[in-house]
Amino acid sequence: MSFCIQCGHPATQKKPLGDQKDRAVCDNCGKIHYENPKVICGALVTHEDRVLLCRRAIEPRYGLWTLPAGYMELFETMEQGAARETREEAEAEIQNPELYCMYNIPRIGQIYVLFRAALMGGQFGAGDESIECALFDEKDIPWHELAFPSVERTLRHYFIDRKTNQFPIHLETLGSRLDGTG
């Protein structure tokens, strides 16, 4: 960041008093500009033992399959964000969202929060950000056409957990060579 978002004057990279990191600090008004991770919220939506996936109509990863998810907006909860993203991408309503998977992705400054939820009424369509949406049985998941490692991890957790009908919260860090995603 070269300029202050508050007053428009130049900002300089330096360590503010009591801080450990260099930050963009406005030379005029002194505002410290913090850069924090972005939160992505979404849902693993199920209906009659099938999972709802959306084929992306936008970059990144155009044409690949994903769970409905996107950036959390100000003034909404994570659950509200997951429901909104499902409406926007799959023209679907969800019910009973339960926290299911959380992924730290430090290399790109993101946190993914995914809820397990039921599809209301079995109704869905393709929103503006989706080429198409479909319900998949486990055997029909397009594993080699999934958009993101978080989607694959979530689906694999779900199909394993479904066998015992126990759905614990999964917390992982993705994007390192140790987990095979980076």
Which has more confidence, 118 or 175?
118
What is the share, in percent, of the chain residues with pLDDT greater than 90?
95
How far apart, in whole angstroms, are the C-alpha atoms of residue 146 and residue 64? 5
Average pLDDT over the chain, rounded to an integer = 95
- pLDDT band at residue 176 under the 50/70/90 scheme: low
Contacts by 142-149 with C-beta closer than 8 Å and gap 24+?
A: 142/53, 142/65, 145/63, 145/64, 145/65, 146/64, 146/65, 146/66, 147/56, 147/60, 147/61, 147/64, 147/65, 147/66, 148/61, 148/66, 149/174, 149/175, 149/181
Residue 10, preceding peptide bond in cis (omega within 30° of 0): no
Give the per-residue pLDDT at 65: 98
Q: pLDDT tens, 32-89?
A: 999 999 999 999 999 999 999 999 999 999 999 999 999 999 999 999 999 999 999 9
Q: pLDDT tens, 2-36?
A: 999 999 999 999 999 999 999 999 999 999 999 99
Mean pLDDT, range 168-172, rounded to an integer: 98
**pLDDT above 60: residue 140:** yes
Show the domains of the chain with their CATH numbers.
1-35 (2.20.70.10), 38-179 (3.90.79.10)
**pLDDT above 50: residue 182:** no
Give the per-residue pLDDT at 1: 86
| Residue of 42, 100, 37 lying closest to 66 (CA atoms) | 42
Give the per-residue pLDDT at 181: 44
